[in-house]
């Protein structure tokens, strides 16, 4: 929650600097807001190395169900776990 608030405050600060006429501070603050947003975000795909398509027997619904049961799991992690469950 604090992460989201800090990114929001940085973005609002950038807008404030922009409307105050300080373009340099506005650009630096906007850049800091973008950097914070990317730094605080969690990965969506995780480590997609070796995952080019769904393995046989694994459906998109399996992936969706696994990710809903395990919040914070990346798509590639869910694919690997579902494939392991199918194998054995």
Question: In order along the chain (88 residues), what is the average pLDDT of each group of 10 residues?
Answer: 87 95 96 89 65 84 94 88 87
Q: What is the pLDDT of residue 22?
A: 95
**Is 23 in the same domain as 7?**
yes
Pairwise CA distance, residues 49 & 27, whole Å? 35
**Is 49 in the same domain as 32?**
no
Kindly report whether the global pTM for this prediction surpasses the value 0.85: no
Q: What is the pLDDT of residue 4?
A: 84
Encoded tokens for 51 = 């995952």
**Is 52 in the same domain as 35?**
no
**Is 62 in the same domain as 78?**
yes
Q: What is the pLDDT of residue 87?
A: 83
Q: What is the pLDDT of residue 44?
A: 58
* Count of domains for the chain: 2
**Is 35 in the same domain as 66?**
no
**Is 36 in the same domain as 50?**
no
**Is 49 in the same domain as 87?**
yes
Pairwise CA distance, residues 11 & 8, whole Å? 5
- The contacts found for 32-40 with CB under 8 angstroms, 24 or more apart, are 33/7, 36/3, 36/6, 36/7, 36/10, 37/7, 40/3, 40/4, 40/6, 40/7
**Is 31 in the same domain as 61?**
no
Q: What is the pLDDT of residue 75?
A: 87
* Full residue range of the structural domain in which residue 84 is found: 44-88
**Is 75 in the same domain as 35?**
no
Q: Is the dihedral of CA 60, 64, 66, 72 positive or negative?
A: positive
């Amino acid at each position: 929650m604090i992460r989201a608030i800090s990114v929001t405050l940085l973005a609002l600060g950038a807008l404030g600097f922009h409307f105050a006429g300080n373009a340099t501070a506005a650009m630096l603050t906007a850049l800091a807001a973008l950097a914070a947003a990317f730094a605080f975000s969690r990965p969506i795909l995780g480590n997609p190395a070796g995952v080019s398509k769904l393995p046989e027997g694994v459906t998109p619904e399996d992936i969706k169900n696994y990710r809903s049961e395990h919040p914070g799991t990346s798509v590639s992690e869910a694919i690997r776990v579902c494939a392991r469950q199918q194998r054995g």
